[in-house]
Every structure is written in C-alpha cells, then in structure tokens.
Amino acid sequence: MIQIGKNKAFNFSLPRLPKLLQFFTTWRCIIWKINVKKILSKDCSIKFIVNQETDSESIRNVHILKFQDLSKLEGLGWIEYSFKISKIPEINTGKWWLQPSIEVNGFINMQIDYIRFMYDNYRKEIYFPKMGHLLPIHKIRPNVPEAFKD
C-alpha cells in the first residue's frame, strides 16, 4: 500500500510488465484501488498513465481526475477506479511491455492499495447521476441496529 501525503507533487511508476498473452486479444481495463481521504487544495489532480511499447509502436493512455471529479470521491473510502486501456493492434515478435504509473499534483491525502487488469468484453458501465440517489442502508432497512447505520 502506498500512502500519499500532503506533498505538492508525487510520481510513482510501477516496473515494466513483460509480454503477457492475455493482453493481445481484447480491449481491457486497468483497475486502481484508491482511497481519497482529504483534498487540501482546489488545484489538485490525479493522472493515471499506462505506457505500452513494442518494437515498432508505443501507446500512452492517460486518464485525469481533476478537482471536480476528486471531490466526489473524497471520504468514500476504498473504491476501485477503472478505465479502458488500448491494445496494441499487431504484436508479432519481439519485445513488448506495459508500465502503469500515477502522478498526483496538488495537496491531497490519499492511499493506493493495488492495481489489477481485467478483460472488458461484456462489461457495462453503471452510472449514478448523483450519489444522493442511493439511499443509506438504515432508510432501506429501518430495522438495522444503530451501530451499523453509518
């Protein structure tokens, strides 16, 4: 687990992952387990980066969460944040690698637990327009003991 403190900027790159056959055939997702505890400045952002390279081609996938997006995640606890990454079209022979990294700018208190990869053949996005539309458990089930209401 990585604890990102109250630094102005933080860059973290994982090691290059070598050729893996399961990445050749389908589009896929990368999933980051993160916990945004506290946002301390309005000029903060998180940039998720996935670099891929073969002998002949390189792709850089970048996904940015700005303050407006991060403020929705603040205080939710551990979440799995996912997005699609592109596949390199033709990989015949030679070297191939993939390298995830993250850049945090601004003052933010957060944690990163892990990343993982997932096939994305039949995955459907679930969109909740406002988190207020989801009822707390004590309103759905009023007989829940007081200790479990939050």
pLDDT tens, residue by residue, 115-135:
888 776 555 666 656 656 666
Q: Is the pTM of this model over 0.85?
A: no
- Residue 47 is predicted with a pLDDT of 92
Q: For residues 116 and 132, give the distance between their C-alpha atoms in angstroms, rounded to a whole number.
A: 29
Is domain 2-123 given the CATH code 2.60.120 in the classification? yes
Domains in the chain: boundaries: 2-123
113 pLDDT above the threshold of 60 = yes
Count CA atoms closer than 13 A to 42's CA, side-chain side: 0
Provide the pLDDT confidence category of residue 14 given band limits of 50, 70 and 90. confident
58 pLDDT above the threshold of 60 = yes
Beta bridge partners of 140: none
Give the containing element (helix H, strand E) for 73: helix 67-73
Residue 138 three-state SS: helix
CA 66 remoteness from chain centre: 13
